[in-house]
Structure 1
């Protein structure tokens, strides 16, 4: 596997991504677009294990792994980030850097970014399918936050000196480890040094907090039921056998109920349960890669 760091400019911001491709370059007319989750220290590095396993399986489809604005090595302006902002960044990224059809693989609550990208694609036939890895509980995706409440959280807490102090607390290794054990991973031992080292290092930059606080303020929250029902593309939903919800709206939903709700509303959906909890590409990497590989093969066999 070759991993090639790249940069491009979008809206006068420096944006970064890594192109993962096999050692022997191929001329595939399809790629996977990886969308990482938002959180303290999170960036495109979230997908490193997935990329390694993907090419160890002999896959030839390249992986485009961008750092969303406000994350990783991309610029981190002091702004409130909305899903449509990141979707616009990715649309430009597809038009200028990828330049070919993609299957979107999106982790967790960044699903609304993929929804916005589907609604406003770079070209009508450039999105061939979606993989939803550990998507949010169905009630969270269909019960919007009040816009006024979102802005109050941002203006009165997160975008203040108090918010800065909160981020300084949240970026500590002890907090990252505790949160990961309580909310993300099924097995405590899977919260390993590699996971903690990367998050702790990338959380050092205080400007990372604006993307994190935009997420915590709920700027991504709205009722997506109609938008999900209008997704025409083949969509694979992968839910952990011990999936849980960080938000109180989804705490009573079982993994089976979550999967059923998504498949009930997606017109071209299929679902799989996977060992683990909320971050399948990291905690159950090989199993997740197998599911994605089968899904990609299904799509390409119909072309």
Structure 2
């Protein structure tokens, strides 16, 4: 059953029941379907500069709050990339039913790549924006001192007492703004609206347990494992000044392209981890031109 909540200035928010959990999504426009998948801690609102533009270009644009984020339920379960892939596959089967381009940022990009590999029957291609290498860090990706620090931090996050203290400190608006200043090259793009978009869902009941579950979740398949199996075209967009997922991460996509995969790589100079929000006037045309050129 689908119900409608109060419309925002740019798009209305809808709700869908998945396995007895409330999932928030939006849809705008008509035409070939595009599915937008946010990154860790974000939500539909992170695509507000993209949804209307892509819809006006002649596409039916879906954006979804993954279970655990945004306006979707904060379920007390174990989270994983596989869980969200299943969610999106079921969403496609109920609401879309035509091959879609999956577009993701950060962890959302890893999910989009995983869908393209595991469910090519629902995917015509994928756009990966500053793609994460995993849902969490693999031990071999960290040097020994940092491996110890992260292991200790994850124990604090998971503990029923210290976990709440750590989470409440991380989700303070001032801390959110400091974190955004690290990953956005243009500080003017870090607005109060953006901070509120990240802060408000953290106040929902169960948000702290979701945070702990995701930080201690398995990383999922890496791009190195997935790319040899992908048979759909990919557009890889990368903010060149991203300190979280540096542009050196694009090398694995370059290697896959050299091995015959259909991959276009577009670096975005002067942008950080979320170029779709920071410099949408550069990112939106790249997506539109690539989709138009392929289908």
Unaligned runs of 5+ in 2: 1-8, 141-147
- Aligned mates of 1:38, 1:221 — CA distance in 2: 14
SS of the residue corresponding to residue 12 of structure 2 reads strand
1:19 and 2:20 correspond: no
* Per-residue CA distance 1:135-194 (angstroms, 9 max, x = gap): 136xx6998348xx9999766632522111111111111000001112x10122221122
The equivalent of 2:249 in structure 1 is 258
Counterparts of 1:17-96 in structure 2, within 5 Å, are: 17-21=25-29, 26=30, 28=31, 30-39=32-41, 42-55=42-55, 58-96=56-94
Give yes or no for contact 1:151–1:217 (8 Å, CA) kept in 2. no
* Per-residue CA distance 1:197-242 (angstroms, 9 max, x = gap): 2222232214223333333225225544121221111101111121
Aligned length: 275
- Aligned mates of 1:231, 1:87 — CA distance in 2: 15
The equivalent of 1:212 in structure 2 is 211
* Cα deviation, residue 259, structure 1: 2.5
2:122 equivalent among 121, 126, 129 = 126
Query: Cα distance 1:159–1:34, how it changes in 2: closer, same or farther (>3 A)?
Result: farther
SS of the residue corresponding to residue 49 of structure 1 reads coil
- Aligned mates of 2:103, 2:163 — CA distance in 1: 31
With CA pairs under 8 Å and 6+ residues apart, which has the higher RCO, 1 or 2?
1
- Aligned mates of 1:221, 1:151 — CA distance in 2: 18
Unaligned runs of 5+ in 1: 247-252
Q: RMSD value over aligned CA atoms?
A: 2.7
- Aligned mates of 1:161, 1:205 — CA distance in 2: 18
Counterparts of 1:1-303 in structure 2, within 5 Å, are: 3-21=11-29, 26=30, 28=31, 30-39=32-41, 42-55=42-55, 58-121=56-119, 124-136=120-132, 144-145=138-139, 157-182=157-182, 184-245=183-244, 255=247, 257-266=248-257, 267-275=261-269, 276-300=271-295
Query: Cα distance 1:142–1:66, how it changes in 2: closer, same or farther (>3 A)?
Result: closer
Give yes or no for contact 1:144–1:222 (8 Å, CA) kept in 2. no
SS of the residue corresponding to residue 104 of structure 2 reads strand
| Structure 1: 4+ residue segments shifted above 4 A | 140-143, 149-156
* Cα deviation, residue 13, structure 1: 1.5
Query: Cα distance 1:82–1:141, how it changes in 2: closer, same or farther (>3 A)?
Result: closer
- Scaled by the length of structure 1, what TM-score is found? 0.81
Give yes or no for contact 2:101–2:126 (8 Å, CA) kept in 1. yes
- Aligned mates of 1:152, 1:78 — CA distance in 2: 22
Query: Cα distance 1:168–1:141, how it changes in 2: closer, same or farther (>3 A)?
Result: closer
- Aligned mates of 1:154, 1:145 — CA distance in 2: 13
Give yes or no for contact 2:80–2:220 (8 Å, CA) kept in 1. no
* Cα deviation, residue 2, structure 1: 6.7
